[in-house]
Structure 1
Amino acid sequence: MWYVSTRGMAPRVDFEGALFSGYAPDGGLFMPEELPQLDIETLRQWSSLSYPSLVKELCTLFIGPELIPRDVLNDLINRAFHRFRHREVVHLSRLRNGLNVLELWHGATYAFKDLSLGCTAQFLQYFLEKKEKHVTVVVGTSGDTGSAAIESVQGAKNMDIIVLLPQGHCTKIQELQMTTVLRENVHVFGVEGNSDELDEPIKAVFADVAFIKKHNLMSLNSINWSRVLVQIAHHFFAYFQCAPSLDTHPLPPVEVVVPTGAAGNLAAGCLAQKMGLPLRLVVAVNRNDIIHRTVQRGDFSLSKAVELTLASAMDIQVPYNMERIFWLLSGSDSQGTRALMEQFERTQSTSLPKELHDKLSEAMTSESVSDEAITRTMSRCWEENQYLLCPHSAVAVSYHYQQTDRQQPRGCALRTVVPEEGV
């Protein structure tokens, strides 16, 4: 399996090369050169697998036994999940009125990112120990990425981690999770500005190839392909838990609502679609609605400023994983993706070509949710189910309630919410 940059100007790399990279040298993001296509029989065989077993199957396809032998890979993934509080690692709660919540937050920091970061850290340790190397991980965070990244690598002898924390833009518990870890390899810095603004110097650093090589730098943000790879399993597990039957041809669609900020989980859903999973994706965002405007009108442009909302980890204006989605839906058009993203970086505004916008509209729909709707949703879910949602999960559940109240079923009675983070 080879990986290429979405902008087409960087040499292709294997999984190890993509794992140890941040942005590609040309400013793009790494993606698989070819996607495995799964037939109905394979999907039926996978439908009975546990969440960890699904992760193992998917990682085998995208890593290859020549890099990590299958028995070693299985052991690494088992280690990544051994501290999760739920025996299933990921659990589906079936609530009233057809609401299904896929609980991805049973890890140490109560963030869904514990799943992908735990595996990614194990893969890193494997290669670092094998080659007796050391790396410094640079992470910018809007809250949950930082704490989950620290948890995954704290105490590791082969890795130091530098986390840039936007002061005043994270929840108190997330800030404490990051600033109270007293390990020699953990370095947390409070910076002025929001998470989008602190991403700019990080991207500039990773554009300097000589500097990266000299200091052995890498990133654990969702620019890292390994993060997106593991998140593909969320969508397969959601589908198998919610599909009414896999005995029909074609297989029935299942709607998955993805609350998102940087769009890593959304990119994973698009990859699952392209691999043959019949998903209907809904992307749910807060008032920072660039993805919503892009899906609805092809308007990929910044607003005047990031709005602070109750779903603070999603207060993002630059969803960098949309570049992966544009590349994927355009049929791996690196030249077109590069032109689109370079225009966006120059002017902070661009419009999708009609053909690409049509493909995006076919792949997903979208919703933007206000703070008022978030609080109403949290209250209603508690009253109806005695089930406590965090504001990020409520962004997705709000969409479900809107559809239920309009009595407009979207072709599938089951709705699966993939929470952004837990409580």
Structure 2
Amino acid sequence: MSVSEEAAAAASECYAKDLGLYLPEEIPGWGRGAEAAVWLLLSQLVFEVARRFIDEAEIPSADLEELVGNSLSGFKVPEVVRVERLGGGLNVVELFHGATLAFKDLALQVVSALLHYFLKTSGQHVTILVGTSGDTGSAAIEGVRGRGNMDIVVLLPKGYCTAIQELQMTTVLEDNVHVYCVDGTSDALDLPIKQCFADGQLVESHSLISINSINWGRIMVQVAHFFHLYFQLCEDLGQPVQVVIPTGACGNITAGCIAQRMGLPITLVAGVNTNNIVARTLDTGDFSVEGNVMPSLAPAMDIQMPYNVERLLFLYAKGDTGRVKKLMEEFESRGRVQIPKDVLEAMKKTVVGEPY
């Protein structure tokens, strides 16, 4: 497989051949002088982060810079992401200025453009399969709608999305967008979707992919959010900044952990609602499903099976894939696994949970 084929696979295949999730074998350091990076726009930071993971042979810099710039040009505020400074050292990072008002607009606009770039080069057509708790579906549709080399099929859990999210998904008229209401929660949807991706013949015959946070590209682009907010908020470079993240499937938390690995001095707090599996896991190492998903006013956080915990295990188990696979197999078979003490202690140095 060539370098460009590897990049296209990570951007499109989502699940690896063994049904694990893609992550780079090595996390590159930031390298660039922070003093200069402070003045970069968000689009420039996205380019700088992406350039560290995407080789020049995969996408030339001029193409990548144009792709990112165009992807982030349609937001409602010129800075794309706005930081609202409150009293007492508290600040709110506004990630809702995209077309669907979800923070996922930022990453999915870029990921959709990356996918389009690779497909245009190869002449292929793909079918994107997405299960959503609400905001992923809307943002994915917005990135994909009208693109000739891809169709998107979105499954939304009936009764578990807000009215506005359901309307955002079901009122799109482009021929390449197909939306279905289904029974069950977004967690319940993940199981048959993963079974679809486990069927190699089905995947091949329909060129099946996904662009929710299973997709490495989503995580990669979100890493830039943390560099942007850090440079906006730190008074002195090198000063630690704590970031509280509303948490569902742990995709944004994973991006923050990778940013920290790249040298950014941040600590992370996973904020959860009554579906508090992430907080329990980070507190005691008890990674277990407790009861059914409880609907809340924040449907994107209504998750009891946060699949990106697998990526966190990889990061903090020192890349021991055999160990991660064993833990995830136990979780998937029993609905419960105890995170080993050394892995949990390493994880807690970067991220803690804040229970409901």
Q: How far did residue 22 of structure 1 move?
A: 2.1
Tell me how many residue pairs correspond in the alignment. 355
Q: Provide the residue aligned with 1:338 in structure 2.
A: 325
Task: Calculate the TM-score normalised by the size of structure 2.
Answer: 0.97
After TM superposition, which residue ranges in structure 1, 4 or more long, deviate above 2 angstroms?
A: 41-45
- Alignment of 1:15 onto 2:2: no
Identity %: 49
Instruction: Report the AA paired with residue 265 of structure 2.
Output: P
Alignment partner for residue 29 of structure 1, among 1, 18, 21?
21
Distance between the aligned counterparts of 1:309 and 1:126, measured in 2? 38
Distance, in Å, in 1 between the alignment partners of 2:30 and 2:221 is: 17
Aligned residue number for residue 71 of structure 2? 80
Specify which of 200, 222, 229 is matched with residue 213 of structure 2.
Answer: 222
1:240 aligns with 2:231: yes
Query: Superposition pairs for residues 125-136 of structure 1, below 5 Å?
Result: 125-136=116-127
Deviation at 1:213, TM superposition (A): 1.2
Map of 1:254-265 to 2, 5 A cutoff? 254-265=241-252
Mapping 1:176-195, distance limit 5 Å? 176-195=167-186
- One of 132, 151, 157 as aligned partner of 2:142: 151
State the alpha-carbon separation in 1 of the partners of residues 199 and 295 from structure 2: 32
* CA deviations over 1:318-346 (Å, ceiling 9, x no partner): 10011001101111010110000000000
**CA contact 1:25–1:206 (8 Å) conserved in 2:** no
* 1:323 matched residue in structure 2: 310
Deviations 1:282-330 (A, max 9, x none): 1101110110000000000001111111212110001001100110111
Gaps of at least 5 residues in structure 1 are 4-12, 370-423
The match for 1:267 among 254, 257, 280 is: 254
SS in 2 for 1:120: helix
The residue aligned with 1:56 is: 47
Structure whose alpha-carbon radius of gyration is higher: 1
CA contact (8 A) 1:238 1:256 kept: no
Residue 14 of structure 2 aligns with an amino acid whose one-letter code is G
2:152 counterpart residue number: 161
Residue 176 of structure 2 aligns with an amino acid whose one-letter code is: N
d(CA) in 2 for partners of 1:239, 1:296: 25
- Secondary structure (helix, strand or coil) at the match of 1:282 reads strand
1:55-84 residue CA offsets vs partner (Å, 9 max, x unmatched): 010111111110110010011111111210
Q: 1 or 2 for the larger relative contact order (CA 8 Å, sep ≥6)?
A: 1
Contact 1:299 1:352 in 2 (8 A): yes
Choose the corresponding residue for 1:297, options 284, 287, 311.
284
Q: For residues 319 and 42 of structure 1, what CA distance do their matches in structure 2 show? A: 35
- Cα deviations by residue, 1:14-64 (Å, 9 ceiling, x for unpaired): 22110111211211100001111134x622321211111100101111111
Following superposition, the deviation at residue 260 of structure 1 comes to 1.1
Q: Do structure 1's residue 89 and structure 2's residue 80 form an aligned pair?
A: yes
Cα deviations by residue, 1:141-196 (Å, 9 ceiling, x for unpaired): 00000000000010110010000010000000000000000111000010000000
Instruction: Specify the alignment match of 2:114 in structure 1.
Output: 123
CA drift at 1:130: 1.4
Matches of 1:299 and 1:323, distance apart in 2: 14
1:287 aligns with 2:248: no
Q: Name the counterpart of 1:309.
A: 296
Amino acid at match of 1:204: Q
Query: Helix, strand or coil for the counterpart of 2:33?
Result: helix
Q: Residue deviations 1:333-362, cap 9 Å, x none?
A: 101100000000000001011111111221
Residue 213 (1) aligns with residue 170 (2): no
